[in-house]
Amino acid sequence: MFKRIDHVEIVTDQLDRTVQFYTEILGFTVKARDRIERSGLGVPIDLVYLDLGGTVVELITYEGAAVDPAPRNEHFGYRRLRWKSTTCRRRPTI
């Protein structure tokens, strides 16, 4: 039986700024950091695991590898993520 989504992975090219957004605006805490010296793309990746009440967001950044931006047209796969918050009192500025 399905219970919950364990975690969501997000690729970013601005790791520090993204961590700042999730911690300072949304209230996540940094659970762990990791670095893998050789990823599937052959370059190092940095990982940051953020937690908010059991919801984990895994931020990923690839060092020295080009990552395509999100597509502008309809496509298969992930499309949108919506937040529900009772504590976010200011509009994010990213």
Burial of 47 (0-12, 13-18, 19+ CB in 10 A): middle
pTM of the model: 0.74
- pLDDT tens for 52-76 read 988 899 999 998 877 777 777 776 6
Q: Would you say 18 and 33 are in contact if contact means Cβ atoms under 8 Å apart?
A: no
Q: Which residues, at least 6 apart from 42, have a Cβ–Cβ distance to it below 8 Å?
A: 65
Q: Tell me, which fold does domain 1-94 have in CATH?
A: 2,3-Dihydroxybiphenyl 1,2-Dioxygenase; domain 1 (3.10.180)
Please give the residue that has the higher pLDDT: either 94 or 18.
18
Scored b (16 or more CB within 10 A) or e, 59-88 reads: bbbbeeeeeeeeeeeeeeeeeeeeeeeeee
Residues paired with residue 57 on neighbouring β-strands, in sequence order: 8, 50
- pLDDT tens for 13-56 read 899 999 999 999 999 999 999 999 988 878 899 999 999 988 89
Domains of the chain, by residue range, sit at: 1-94
Residue that has been written with the tokens 């010296």 in this structure = 37
